[in-house]
Every structure is written in structure tokens, then in C-alpha cells.
Amino acid sequence: MYDNDTYMPKLKETARANLENLYRIFTVPEAPDSTLGSIDQAISDDVSGFLRTHIVALERTIEDIEADFLATEIPEEPTFVSEYTDFVKEKLVAQSVHTAAPGFVGHMTSALPYFMLPLSRIMTALNQNLVKVETSKAFTPMERQVLAMLHRLVFQRENEFYPEWTHNSQHALGAFCSGGTIANITALWVARNRLFSPDGDFKGIANEGLHRSLQYIDSQGLAVLVSHRGHYSLGKAADLLGIGRDNLIKIETDDRNRIDMSRLKRKLSQLQKDNIRPLALVGIAGTTETGNVDPLDDMADLAQELGCHFHVDAAWGGPTLFSDTHRGLLKGIERADSVTLDAHKQLYIPMGAGMVVFKDPTALSAIEHHAAYILRQGSKDLGSHTLEGSRPGKSMLVHAGLSIIGRKGYELLIDMGIERARTFASQILKNKDFELTSEPELNILTYRYCPEWVRQSFSNLDTKQRCRINVLLDQINQLIQKYQREAGKTFVSRTRLRTRDYGKKIITVLRVVLANPLTTDEILDAVLDEQSEIITRPEIQTLLNRIKDLVDSTKNDLP
Amino acid sequence: MYDNDTYMPKLKETARANLENLYRIFTVPEAPDSTLGSIDQAISDDVSGFLRTHIVALERTIEDIEADFLATEIPEEPTFVSEYTDFVKEKLVAQSVHTAAPGFVGHMTSALPYFMLPLSRIMTALNQNLVKVETSKAFTPMERQVLAMLHRLVFQRENEFYPEWTHNSQHALGAFCSGGTIANITALWVARNRLFSPDGDFKGIANEGLHRSLQYIDSQGLAVLVSHRGHYSLGKAADLLGIGRDNLIKIETDDRNRIDMSRLKRKLSQLQKDNIRPLALVGIAGTTETGNVDPLDDMADLAQELGCHFHVDAAWGGPTLFSDTHRGLLKGIERADSVTLDAHKQLYIPMGAGMVVFKDPTALSAIEHHAAYILRQGSKDLGSHTLEGSRPGKSMLVHAGLSIIGRKGYELLIDMGIERARTFASQILKNKDFELTSEPELNILTYRYCPEWVRQSFSNLDTKQRCRINVLLDQINQLIQKYQREAGKTFVSRTRLRTRDYGKKIITVLRVVLANPLTTDEILDAVLDEQSEIITRPEIQTLLNRIKDLVDSTKNDLP
């Protein structure tokens, strides 16, 4: 079996040329004027050119683009790097969405600080694996430091706390994750496992599973409670953790998209009668769709009273804590048991960086795990307290952001975003064609096309008539969003929302997220101008005429 | 509230200078000779320098390194990018682990093809979010194509299959993940939800949860069965999914680290008596510690008989399918219901890229989810079928690898690794100081320091005496690994393994993973030479003398 003489020559003869090519691609080019060096430079130039061109995307239908990605056989023969980069340039870069464009205000991706590019290159080249110290070395203390900094931002524990816990070999103050979804799942996983920790003969839920755990406390199920504005990742968490989506109880909101505390309390009484145990209350600090913040202090009081876990999903709004002016909006977050933060949102880190931090530095023990070859007891390996296994050194980019931008720089970004949202809201309020459907509390707002004459007519209409008009308005707003996206100059997103003015009716609204510091008031004016222009299209005019007919017909009905 | 005149001037006065600095960092430098341009260049040069220096790591204790990462307050003031990059160079790059070094053969990280660096830069700069088409455009069809290519590699479905399913707006052939852990969890999540799919009044486990689901089928629990060599992520999955670690049933292996089929069957009979439902059998294609492959065809037969899910964890060994010579080792994998592949292992992609593919193109419907603002029904958004939410465009790097290296290039890499492992095994067999503890089936092997005279003495010793000697050998091997790691020239890992020669006794072994194409036979000889050198240290000689005494004392016992 171990005789190479029979095997190696064959391999060597047939593949010597290929082997040499292979070695070459694994070797760092010696000089910038080598082939790979110049390709590297050309790619950098190309990306720069793309980033400087402030367009959102050239519209081609997705089916049209798919034509370039139909082959399902893995290419048999190798391709030259230069040939492949031409493909990337034409078929991918030119057909990607310019998420950093100042007119791309529809989703939570923004421009990146330019220094993230060379630093990401270092991160990629070093290829550290944060699961264990043996494959990450200095990156492990660096990540622990970043977790401690964010922990401190949120929980403001005393000075003595941090030296004891930051680099503690038994514990971690939080977990780096690929995003907010894993962070939220980790938080609820910890909450579940702490509720059912080992106790006498009962070995804990981690070992015995959910079924026996519920039998052990003689309960019919667990519930997680959050407002209707809760992120969809919470539904995934309820499913994954075996709790069930039916037991993710969604509570109605008040007229500012914040959880209705009296309804929450009523629901909790009901659950008690049904012998369902409340596992966690989830507060939202910056709802995905409207940017509102739940009454976190009230929720903390209630969670304390119930003795249940209090998680705050601050994936969006967490960095508001940087701002002296606006920090108060998140009052109560320091009383949470766990808090989710997304670094790829308002910390301006490239995609794929979330975090969850826990007030109690021993909380993550509830999901601790070990293996024979790594994550040994007492090691400082971060992998023993994360849902994920092998992970890249993304925390380095958070470290860079915190260091280079600093607390005051982030404060400025937060303040600017909130200010910009207020300015845009005032523009919408002044515009007779549009209706503001949620006022910005942070830097997100929603609105819709709904001309003043339609709004004025509503008071004379009955529910059924309003409903018919709203259905037509929904179609118009869908078309506005679609045509604007296709034109590729600017981009807003759309969602469906229950707003105070239309009772229980859900309407389609346009959504704007203002986190890109390069977005100006002039660009936002252009967004509205473009929408006003789109409204003149015949397809939309036809729908508008149907609304006019409806309004007119009711006028005729009047005595 | 919307009057900016009272708010904006204040912000503008105090922060105009800061604002200008902020704008600058978000703006792409116009010319390569600008400050940022030259920093960018300096970083590239520095990384190249680091990568060309083939050392593993300069040893400083982790406590010593921690001294650079103690501050837990977020810096108040901004820092110059140049100042920060100096810090990165001195404190991070110089203190990171050179995972790409040809002498770093202890873990599964290897050298990267150089083209991954400029392409990663494009990926970072474009900052696409694969959760939805609106923020990823061409990246969505590209990722779907990559999933189809890997699906085809594994399952070899017929030609007609792929045009129907690759770009299907209702389905996805698999899920891109941050790594193999999320891939394994996704596979078992799908298996669990398919077992308890909606049925009449029963709304399915996704909605009703695990407790009611088990009540519904009147079962006491679920079990997942895998060999003792199963990856630790399966324990996390059992915990997370509510199944419980006690119900992750670990089956003993045969003398080649493969699951013992007769023990597996006996265990299944026992579970049936206990009214525990087998959820899934998990086969391993390339065990983490020894690189062995389970009898996948036999396991597929058994899973079929039981009507349960058959998952194959091919995170390590999957790419063996590229090799005409060695593909047969994985026979039966095409009968799996789901297969995990890790692109950041033997596809040579930077850290953070896993995948799971499903034979049945509708399988992922079991975890499908939607939201009002994205992932709408009928969209091609990949996010409706992934555990994670927002995700970067890592699949582009897999696409690049498959295109540039090609099937034949990967075949060569696989063949070389297996060949290198065989050569190294033959070197160990020839060396009187070392004992091969697991023969390489793929490109992983384990061995330990155990001189020939100790091995020869074993036949004359009773179990208790052998046991005492093995404990001393364990200490010696731990020290060898530690001193070698600290010297920083080469690196092997260590684990604890039950091997055929020592019955049920678990021993400490050294582990070598041979996937870096730049690792030569000479480097491996140097690894053994360095270890032989370490053995001469007084600390180890003392331990060796104790073994000698033990062996001698038994000789005296002989008649």
C-alpha cells in the first residue's frame, strides 16, 4: 500500500505541466509587474471605477442574467485567471446591485469606509480560523476585546468587571456570528438552555431534549413574545429550537410601531392559564421596517417580574448608543439579558458580521461544548461558546472601525442619519402627492403615494370603500417601486404595514433607510421627483382614474 | 419635530471638520498615489511579505499578546488609517498563525490560490447581500449555479433535472452557509421538519413545536445515529433542535474508524423497544480526526429500510469526488438525502464557506419562510431557504475556484494529498521511534511517538502495565506537540483516539492533514526530525526513563 514507486511516476508523467501551473496559483507573485500582480491591479482599478459610478444597477431581467449561469457541469479544464476576471467584470460586477450608491436607500446596506477594503484583504490573506487559538493566535484576544467593548457599550458594567471576564478561559462575554439571525438564535438557545439547566436527576435540556424537559416541569410548551414588528429570524429560531412558530406570540403594536404593553400582559395571563411557559420577551431597538424602539424599560420590568429572559434585538438600532443626543431612545437596553448587534449594518463592516452579547458573563456556559482535538476545557478557544464552528476573523474589521472612526465618528454618522430622516419626513409632509406612514424615530421611515385629494375623501367613505381604494393604492405603490428599481437610478424598498390611520387594514408602503453618509437631501428630493414622474405613466394613471371614479361615485351618493 | 433649522446649524458648526473627514473615508480614493491609495499598496506589500515568509508563528504566550488587547472602552477619538495599519502589522499580522505555511500540517486550513485575494476584494467592495435578489442581482443566479454544480457532483442527477430546478423560484437545491456546522444543522433541521410535516389537523413541527409533534406520533423522542468519529457540530445540532445530546447516539467504529454496522443495527432495535424514533443516520466522508469514510452504501440501504433521513457529512472528503482514481471511496454518497461540503477546506476558498445540498429539490421547503419586505412568495430570493439571513457573496469564490482550477485541477490536488499521506505513512512505518496509529484512507493520518522497543515489550505486559506506559506516552506526545508548536517552524495537531492495537484504551496521537500543495516530502521529513530532536529534551527523557523502568521491572518478573 505504501509503495510510491508504482504510483508516483504515473502521476508525475501525465501531470507535470499541470502540477507546475497549480503550484504557481498557490504561490504569491514575487513582483507587482508579474502577470498576477497586474491582474490584481486591474481588478482594483475596475472595482474603483465601479464604485465611483453612482448608479444603482443596469436593469436586465433576472431571467436574462440567468442565461450566463446555466451550465451545471463543473468545467473540466482550468481557465486563465485573466479570462475569468473578464467574465467577472462583464457578467457579475456590471450586473450586481450598487448597494453603496447614495441613491440606494431601500435596504440596510450602505457605503463602506474605504479602509475596509485593504483591511479585508489582510483578513482574507491571513485566513485565520477563530474557532481555536491554534489557528488564530492574536485574533482571539482581539475578538475578545471587541466583544468586551460592545458589551461595555450596551451594559456599562463597572470598571472591575472587564479585567476579570474579557480574556477569561472559561467564559466569553458574547459570540461573533455570521449575522443577526445567528445572533438572535444563539440568544434564545441560551435562554432555553438556562431555563432547563441540569437539576438533580434531570441532566438539562442540552442532554435530554425539549420533550423530556417539558415533561420535567409539567408544562405544555414554551412561548417567545415579541411585537408584530419582530424580525423574521425569530420565527426561524422558534422553529429550529423546537418551540414552534405558533408559540412565537406576536403582540400588536401601538400607533408608533411599539409593542402594546397591556396586550402583552393580557397574553401572558392567557399563556399561564394554558400552562405555556414564557421563555423570553424580545424587545426591538430599531424595527426592520420602521426603525422604532420598543419600551425597553417597561419590558425589562415585566421580564423581571416573570423571571424570564429579556432579549433585545438591536441589530439595527444598537449603534444609536454611540450618540450622546439619541442614546436615551434605547433606555432599558442595559437591563437586557442578551442583545443582538449587527456590525454589517450601522458599524459599516462588510457583509457577514453579527454579534450577541450577554449581561451575565457566565450565560454562554449553557451552550458550551468541547471536542477531543480542539476546544479543550480551559483553553481560550472562542469556538466552545459559538453556534458556528470555523469562522473568519471579521472581528478585526469591527476593531478597525471602532479604532479608526471612534465613538465620536459613529456618533456623527448616527446623528446625521436621524437628522436626514427628519428632513426627508418634512419633505414628504410638504408634498401633496405623498403620505408619511411612519414617522422616523431613528433613521428609517415609510411613506406611500396617496394624493391629498384621496386622503381628504377618506372621511366621507365607509370602510369597504376605503378598502377598495387602498387596494388600488397598493398596486400603484408596488408599480412605483418596481419601475424606480428597474430604472436603476435610485432605489427604495417596499413592505406591507398596518398603520394607525387605516385601522387593522394592511397597506403597501415605500421604505427608506438613511444610513449612507453620502446620501444628500438633494438625492432624496430626486427620489420623490422620480416617483412623481413615474406616476404619469399610463398604467398608473388608469389605476388613479379608477380611484377618482370611486371617490366621485360616493359624492353622488351624498344626499 | 421636522424643523431642521433648529437642529442642523448646531451639528454643522461643531462637526464640520469631522464631517469632512468622515466623507473622505467613505469615498473611493481618486488616484493610486493618494494617501489611501499608498496605504492600500503598503498593506498589499506587507501581506505578500508575510505570506512569502514560511514560518508558522513566532511564539509569544497568549497572556503576553492579550496585553495589547486589554482596553474595553471604545476609543473616543478617531485614529489615522496609517496609524491603525501600523498597529495591525505589529500586533496582529506578526502575531497571527501562518495557516498557509507548508509546514502547518496540523489543521484543515491550507494555502489559498493567490487569485482568491483580488477576487475577495471585489466581493467585499460589491458588498452584495445574498438574502434577496434586490441586494444581489447577478450573484443570485451565480450562487444557484454553484449549488447546482455541487449538487451534480454529488448526486449525478440526469441532464433534464437541472434546467427545471437550478433557477426555480419556488425551490433551492441547497443552501450556502458560513461553514459546515450550519450546513449540518440545516440538514438535520430539514430532516426533522420533513418527519413531522403537516398532516390533517396537525400543522407540522415548524408551527407546533417538537413536544406536540412527539405527542402526535406517540413517541418518546428522536435519535440521530453516527459513529464515535462524528463531528462535534452534530452534538450542537442535537442540542439546538431540541433532540438532546443523549439522543445523538454514537456508535463504535471498526478498526479503521468506520461505523460498525452490526452495532448500529443492534442499537436501532433497542431504540425501537424504547419507542425512540430514528430521525437520521449520519455517514461521514472523511472523519475530522482520521480522514476515514463510513460504508455509505450499507448505511443508505439501512436508512432506506428504516425510512429515515440519510445525511452524509462530507465537509472534508467531499472533493474526493473530483478524482477519477479515488471517487470510489465515497460510493453511496449519491444515495444520501443531504450532503455537507465545506468550500473553505478542500475547495481552497477563504474561511467562512460551507454548503449543504439535498437530493430532493423540494426538501428545503420544510424550512421555508417568508417576510413582508423580502423573501416574498415566488421570488428567487435565496434567503427563504437558508438558516442564516444576510449573507455575503462567498459563492463567487467557489465559482472562481471551479472555473479557474477546474475539475482536473482539483483532481490533481486530491490525488497529490492522498499520495503525500501514503508517502508520509511509509516514512513513519520505517522510523523506529514512531508508530502509525491510523492509516491514511484520504489525506489525514495519525501517529505517535512510541519507540519500537516499547511496542515490542507490550506483548509481555498485562493490561494494567500497558495502561501505565500509555499514560506516560500520552504525556510525551502532548509535550512533543506543544514544543513543536512553540518553536513555530512546523505544526501538527493532537487528539485522543481509540485505536485497534490498544483495545478500548484511548491514547493521545499526533494528527497530520495533507491538503497544502506546497507541502513537500522533505518538509514532512523535517517534521519527524524536529520531533526526534524534541525527544532529547530532559523533561521527555525523564518520562522515557520511567517507561524503561516499567519495562525492565516486568522483565525481571519473568521466570
Tens of pLDDT along B416-431?
999 999 999 999 999 9
A389 vs B: CB within 8 A: yes
Judged against a pLDDT cut of 90, whether residue A257 lies above it is answered with yes
pLDDT band at A459 (very low <50, low <70, confident <90, very high): confident
Judged against a pLDDT cut of 90, whether residue A251 lies above it is answered with yes
Cβ A48–B29 below 8 Å, yes or no?
A: yes
Residue A296 has what pLDDT? 98
Angle among Cα B257, B494, A361 to the nearest 5 degrees reads 110
| Contact residues on chain A for B74, CB-CB shorter than 8 A | 149, 152-153, 322, 402, 406-407
Nearest to B178 by CA among A139, A178, A121: A178
- Sheet of B248-251: strand order equals B174-177, B354-358, B338-342, B309-313, B276-284, B221-227, B248-251
pLDDT band at A8 (very low <50, low <70, confident <90, very high): very low
Chain A to chain B Cβ contacts (< 8 Å): 586
Please list, in sequence order, all residues whose beta carbon lies within 8 angstroms of the beta carbon of residue A346, skipping any fewer than 6 positions away.
A316, A317, A318, A319, A410, A413, A414, A417, A515
A543 vs B: CB within 8 A: no
Note which residues in 411-430 of chain B have CB less than 8 A from chain A.
Answer: 412-413, 415-416, 419, 422-423, 425-426, 429
Residue B327 has what pLDDT? 97
Cβ A22–B426 below 8 Å, yes or no?
A: no
- The x, y and z cell numbers of residue A547, run together, are 380611484
Cβ B25–A494 below 8 Å, yes or no?
A: no
Q: Among partner residues B66, B205, B233, which is closest to A389 by beta-carbon distance? A: B233
Cβ B136–A96 below 8 Å, yes or no?
A: yes
| Contact residues on chain B for A117, CB-CB shorter than 8 A | 40, 121, 124-125
pLDDT tens per residue across span A394-421: 999 999 999 999 999 999 999 999 999 9
A246 vs B: CB within 8 A: yes
Q: Among partner residues B76, B116, B139, which is closest to A96 by beta-carbon distance? A: B139
| Contact residues on chain A for B72, CB-CB shorter than 8 A | 145, 148-149, 151-152, 162, 166
Q: Do B474 and B508 touch, CB atoms closer than 8 A?
A: yes
A480: part of which helix (H) or strand (E)?
A: helix A463-487
Residue type, B53: T
Residue A556 has what pLDDT? 63
Residue type, B14: T
Q: Do A494 and A105 touch, CB atoms closer than 8 A?
A: no
Total residues belonging to chain B = 559
- Computed over every residue of chain A, the mean pLDDT equals 90
Cβ A407–B75 below 8 Å, yes or no?
A: yes
Cβ B47–A122 below 8 Å, yes or no?
A: yes
pLDDT band at A10 (very low <50, low <70, confident <90, very high): very low
- The x, y and z cell numbers of residue A121, run together, are 484583504
Cβ A388–B57 below 8 Å, yes or no?
A: no
Angle among Cα A183, A186, A191 to the nearest 5 degrees reads 130
Chain A interface, mutation test: which of B122, B149, B256, most A Cβ atoms within 10 Å?
B122
Cβ B517–A22 below 8 Å, yes or no?
A: yes
Chain A's closest residue to B145, CA to CA, is: A69
- The x, y and z cell numbers of residue B193, run together, are 421538519
| Contact residues on chain B for A351, CB-CB shorter than 8 A | 127-129, 390-393
DSSP state of A133: G
Mean pLDDT value across residues A128-132: 94
pLDDT lower than 50: segments of chain B: 1-12, 54, 559
Pairs from A477-481 (Cβ < 8 Å, separation ≥ 24): A477/A448, A477/A449, A477/A508, A477/A509, A477/A510, A478/A508, A479/A534, A479/A537, A479/A539, A479/A540, A479/A543, A480/A449, A480/A510, A480/A531, A480/A534, A480/A535, A480/A540, A481/A510
pLDDT tens per residue across span A311-333: 999 999 999 999 999 999 999 99
- Sheet of A248-251: strand order equals A174-177, A354-358, A338-342, A309-313, A276-284, A221-227, A248-251
- Sheet of A506-513: strand order equals A434-438, A444-449, A506-513, A493-498
Residue A53 has what pLDDT? 60
Chain A interface, mutation test: which of B11, B53, B135, B518, most A Cβ atoms within 10 Å?
B135
Total residues belonging to chain A = 559
Residue B11 has what pLDDT? 47
A27 vs B: CB within 8 A: yes
Q: Do A448 and A508 touch, CB atoms closer than 8 A?
A: yes
Note which residues in 306-365 of chain B have CB less than 8 A from chain A.
Answer: 322, 342, 344, 350-352
Note which residues in 285-304 of chain A have CB less than 8 A from chain B.
Answer: 288-289
B58 vs A: CB within 8 A: no
pLDDT band at A2 (very low <50, low <70, confident <90, very high): very low
Cβ A115–B39 below 8 Å, yes or no?
A: yes
Judged against a pLDDT cut of 60, whether residue A187 lies above it is answered with yes
Min Cα separation A289/chain B (Å): 8
Q: Among partner residues A43, A351, A412, which is closest to B127 by beta-carbon distance? A: A351
Q: Do B221 and B211 touch, CB atoms closer than 8 A?
A: no
A65 vs B: CB within 8 A: yes
Cβ B181–A245 below 8 Å, yes or no?
A: no
Nearest to B353 by CA among B160, B545, B158, B120: B120
Residue B3 has what pLDDT? 38
Q: Do A417 and A441 touch, CB atoms closer than 8 A?
A: no
Min Cα separation A103/chain B (Å): 13
Judged against a pLDDT cut of 50, whether residue A11 lies above it is answered with no
Min Cα separation A273/chain B (Å): 18
| Contact residues on chain B for A243, CB-CB shorter than 8 A | 209-210, 242
Min Cα separation B298/chain A (Å): 25
Q: Among partner residues B44, B244, B389, which is closest to A179 by beta-carbon distance? A: B389
pLDDT tens per residue across span A200-218: 999 999 999 999 999 999 9
Q: Among partner residues B122, B344, B439, which is closest to A390 by beta-carbon distance? A: B344
Chain A's closest residue to B521, CA to CA, is: A4
